Amino acid sequence: MFHQGNWGSFIQYDEEHDRPKVDRALLRRVLGYARPYGRLLALVIFTIVVITLVSLVPPLLMRDLLDSAIPAGDMGRVTLLGFGMVAVPLLNGVIGVVQRWASSRAGEGMIFDLRTGLYAHLQRMSLGFFTTTRPGELMSRLNSDVVGAQSAVTGTLISVASNGLAVMATTAVMLSLEWRLTLVAVAILPLFIWPSRRVGRVLRRITRGQMQANARMNSSMNETLNLSGALLVKLFGRTEDEDQRFGTHAADVRDLGVRRALIGRWFFMALGVVSALGTAIVFWLGAVLVIGGDLTIGTIVALSAYLGQLYGPLAALSNTRVELATSLVSFERVFEVLDLPHDVAEPVPAVHLEAVEGRVTFEDVGFDYRAAVPAGLEHVERFSWRSAPEEPAAPVAPVGGRNKAIDGLDFDVLPGTLVALVGPSGAGKTTVTYLIPRLYDVTSGRVLIDGHDVRTLAAETIARSIGVVTQENYLFHDTIAANLRYARPDATQAELEAAARAANIHEFIAELPEGYETVVGERGYRLSGGEKQRVAIARVILKDPRILVLDEATSHLDARSEALIKDALERVMQGRTSFVIAHRLSTVLAADRILVLDRGRLVEQGTHDSLLATGGLYAELFRTQFAVAPG
């Protein structure tokens, strides 16, 4: 019996010598995650020792049966040896259950530690990271790679310990029985090593291709099996095309899996032939010694039984380097993510503001996507894949080709002011609204709240003080009450209803069969656009921030929904500093101040009347957009 390695993962390779390479620093880091479970792993090692020693007993019982009990006609001894033959597997089975319990507790604990640590790290990545990373890749790191990392400790490392101990113990017993035949049996060890090295070189290419094929297949599933993707496929009648595209990716995974399985089978067939060769040689020489009177039949039978216990672990140990590097690569992929720096990091020390007045200042602010947006996970490559480091891939620029979204932006907004952001498409309005709650960090200049640079404020202070309502409001697949309480988990039912009334959505909710306990579906798909937006407004009202950031586009809504949302927004903006990307004339007219942006620069600012009198860009936008927009 031979121990197969985890061929489905990447193998870390030394490119110059074309052989697997296990990084010691990586191994130490892995063992660091195993340290909290040291007692459980020690128990596993103890059970391995006991099982190994107990497994050495049956060949000795067989030897005694053939050489002593049967020739002497001692039926009592024969019966006792028979009970011993039954007791050994029973004892091994009980100890194996204990081993399985301890290893699974340790392994599942490591999965929990890795998965929660990885999730917490990803939660703190900037918005830019998620714009350049496929969700399917993140899911792969959180699921497949974490489970693979667990197997490196509870599978590979335990296998190495078990096989190593088995080889040493079995060899010691065989030497005590007949040293000459034992040396012959061990002499064929080099024949175990050569196939493993040969297979390792071939599997390097296959495993890389298989991981890439799996990534393409997972990406295809993730894009088309979510609500938005499924809707798009159906609306454009591309079901068969997507079936074919997915089938192509799945076929690549299938073909590589078959090829990997065949290579593995050839490998283990080669090891089986080597094992058979060694056994045959030992039997032939043993027969010669038995005929010559130098060896008993019981001893040769015991040695033949030990050969199976020797060659299996030997085959596994000969492949230890490849197997260990293969298993550890899952840890390496997890560490790649854990080692990604937080480009919008929590400041140390962080400034906590008990109360925020709502003054917002931009001082010569510049924002360049090339510097601010990090590359996605597909650009993260392990150093061990190549012999020399390469320049990191450039981050993805926004669609349209212009990276510098904001350039030299200066303005100061006093608390309680309603500011309308106006400008043509691509002027930088949305980018401004992203910089205020620090979804991105500026590449030059400063954004200040109450005189404090947002980069020095605690994330809790920013989140508590700023509320954002966008055009595409996200709702969790949960109840309306749960979605509202996302703003304030401790909110009472009366507070939920008060916020919903202020957002003009309470009557609609009350008429639902399950009221506030109604499940809204994925992304709130069971609600209309206007209803979702009003729930989102109610959520912000419940949060009660001092600064509001709003994209109040309502062009896709019916007149009644638009009127309800307009009324709700007017209520929520009262007494708060509000930045509104204006799409409606009424918002522009109500604004205390209008900021007119063009290609990332502030070209005009003032009130509606003063800007119209100037006859600049705002006057042109008014004639082409706002003059015909509903108010």
* Per-residue model confidence (pLDDT) at position 520: 86
Taking 70 as the pLDDT cut, the residues of the chain under it are 1-23, 136, 153, 192-198, 200-201, 203-205, 207-208, 211, 226-228, 231, 235-236, 318-327, 371-403, 552-558, 626-631
Q: Which two tokens stand for residue 484?
A: 């509202």
Give the pLDDT confidence of 295-338 residue by residue, as tens digits: 888 888 888 888 878 877 877 776 666 666 666 777 777 888 88
Angle 612-616-617 from CA coordinates, rounded to 5°: 105
22-338 has which fold? Answer: ABC transporter transmembrane region fold (1.20.1560)
Sketch the domain layout of the chain as residue ranges: 22-338, 360-628
CATH of domain 360-628: 3.40.50.300
* Per-residue model confidence (pLDDT) at position 13: 40
Give the pLDDT confidence of 193-208 residue by residue, as tens digits: 666 666 766 766 676 6
User: How far apart are the C-alpha atoms of 139 and 147, rounded to whole Å?
Assistant: 12
Report the interhelical angle of 189-224 vs 239-291 (nearest 10°): 160
User: How far apart are the C-alpha atoms of 165 and 183, rounded to whole Å?
Assistant: 18
429 near 421, Cβ under 8 Å? Answer: yes
For 602, the 3-state DSSP assignment is strand
CA of 511: how far to CAs of 357, 515, 517, 518, in Å?
A: 38, 7, 12, 11
527 near 474, Cβ under 8 Å? Answer: no
Strand partners, 420: 580, 594
Instruction: Supply the DSSP string of 19-53, one letter for each residue.
Output: EE---HHHHHHHHHHHGGGHHHHHHHHHHHHHHHH
178 near 295, Cβ under 8 Å? Answer: yes
Spatial CA neighbour of 605 closest among 280, 362, 395, 442: 362
Helices (H), 178-296: 179-187, 189-224, 227-235, 239-291
